[in-house]
Amino acid sequence: MVVRYTVILAVVAALLPIAVPWLGFVFTLAVGIGLAALGVAMLLRGGLISIGHALYFAVGAYAVAFLMRDAGVHDLLVLFAGATIITAAVGFLVGAFMVRYRAIFFAMLNLAISMVFFTLLSKLYYVTGGTDGLAVATPTVLGMQLSRGAFDVVMQNAALILMVAAALLIDRYLKSPLGEALGAIHTNEVRLEYLGVSARGVIWAAYTVSAGLAGLGGAITAVAIGHVVPELSYWTVSGQLVLVAVLGGIGGVPGAFIGAFFLELVRTFAVGIAGEVWNAIIGISLLIVIFFLPEGLYGLIQRLERRRTNPK
């Protein structure tokens, strides 16, 4: 089911921008947000709410900027790989501390560290560009320097490939013993320890992977926009990631991307149709989903699928 809906999502996402070209940029941004939200959704499976994952989103984005500016890396694939690895490494280090905490303490500590990072990005002007941020030039693709128009098409397709790959890999992980152990932490951490399993170790692995996903999402966003700013690590972005994860539903990996596409589309159309009240339109849309679809949009799809395969 996950494979089918991931492929359907990818095909729709690939075809719509051909029909409506300006949607290509929106979809690329949605994939960036969706990857980061998938990281948040993974942790939610373990009963852990991170309201500071914008930290990793921003680390991924700034890693791209720093790699281009300071390390002379300009190839798109190397930038994505480098940003993901750097962010996962940061997640690994921060995770060593985070795995000791649960519930509100876990949530607030993530928030605190992301806000410390936001302050550093804002104040360390000579390193980070301060509140002005840093420009991200158009990268090369396999050594070729493309025009911006051609590059945007490549970016859009690269984002789709990364989305499908990440969805399939994370789905596999969640169904593996390590992934199932993460879900088991949510319901009974003590029993897991009495199986001889280190709950902290399981969370640490998930936290590192989740940071890497958010970093990749940040890297895609940085390259797509061509600019990174401290606001990428601001708490509202963290909140948005949690919102997207819950909106899409944590019952399966496509949920995060469905939530991201839904939010980006609603935002885009709301701004276009009613520029003065677009926030209210988004809020009302979210309320409708939260009230009537407690398992998120993917939960609705799963419910319809169950009804189709088992009409009784």
Q: Residue 144 gets which letter from DSSP?
A: B
* Nearer residue to other proteins within complex by CB, 194 or 291: 194
Closest CB to other proteins among residues 131, 187: 187
Which parts of 246-285 interact with other proteins (CB under 8 A)? none
> Cβ of residue 252: shortest distance to other proteins, in angstroms?
14
Give Dmax over CA atoms of the chain in angstroms.
Answer: 65
Beta-carbon neighbour count of residue 184 at 10 Å?
Answer: 19
Task: Tell me the site size for other proteins, rule CB under 8 A.
Answer: 24
Q: Could you say whether residue 184 binds other proteins (CB under 8 A)?
A: yes
Verify binding: residue 178, other proteins, rule CB under 8 A. yes
Q: Which of 4, 186, 303, 307 binds other proteins (CB under 8 A)?
A: 186
Q: Is 294 in the site for other proteins (CB under 8 A)?
A: no
Least distance from C-beta 131 to other proteins, angstroms? 40
Residues contacting 129, CB < 8 A, separation 6+: none
In the complex, the smallest distance separating the C-beta of residue 27 from other proteins, rounded to whole angstroms, is 29
Which residue's CB is nearer to other proteins, number 92 or number 173?
173
Say if CB 6 and CB 164 are below 8 A apart. yes
The owner of tokens 């609603």 is 266
Is 54 or 199 the residue whose CB approaches other proteins more closely?
199
Q: What single letter denotes the amino acid at residue 23? A: L
- Contact (Cβ atoms closer than 8 angstroms) between residue 83 and residue 216: yes
Which H or E element spans position 228?
strand 227-228
**Residue 230 DSSP code:** G
Q: Which H helix or E strand runs over 254?
A: helix 254-273
Q: The tokens of 131 are what? A: 């509140």
- Return the number of the residue (188 or 279) whose C-beta is nearest other proteins: 188
Q: Build a one-symbol-per-residue string for 145-174: x at contacts with other proteins by CB under 8 A, - elsewhere.
A: ---------------------------xx-
The nearer residue to other proteins, 72 or 196, going by C-beta atoms, is 196
Is 132 a residue that touches other proteins (CB under 8 A)? no
Alpha helices by DSSP H, 46-196: 54-70, 76-98, 103-123, 125-128, 148-175, 177-193
Q: Which stretch binds other proteins (CB under 8 A): 7-15, 30-38, 134-142, 186-194?
A: 186-194
Residue 13 C-beta: closest distance to other proteins, Å:
27
Crossing angle (nearest 10°) for helices 76-98 and 54-70:
140
- Sorted by sequence, the CB contacts under 8 Å of residue 190 that are 6+ apart come out as none
Show the binding pattern over residues 187-216: x = contacts other proteins (CB under 8 A), - = does not: xx-xx-xxxxxx---x--x-----------
Name the minimum Å distance from CB 186 to other proteins. 7
Q: What is the DSSP string of 127-138?
A: HH-GGG-EE-PP
- Please give the residues from 46 up to 105 whose contact with other proteins meets the rule CB under 8 A: none
Q: Could you give the angle at which helices 148-175 and 2-19 cross, rounded to 10 degrees?
A: 170
- Shortest gap between Cβ of 283 and other proteins (angstroms)? 31
The helix/strand/coil state of 75 is strand
Cβ of residue 163: shortest distance to other proteins, in angstroms? 20
Residues that bind other proteins (CB under 8 A): 172-173, 175-181, 183-184, 186-188, 190-191, 193-198, 202, 205
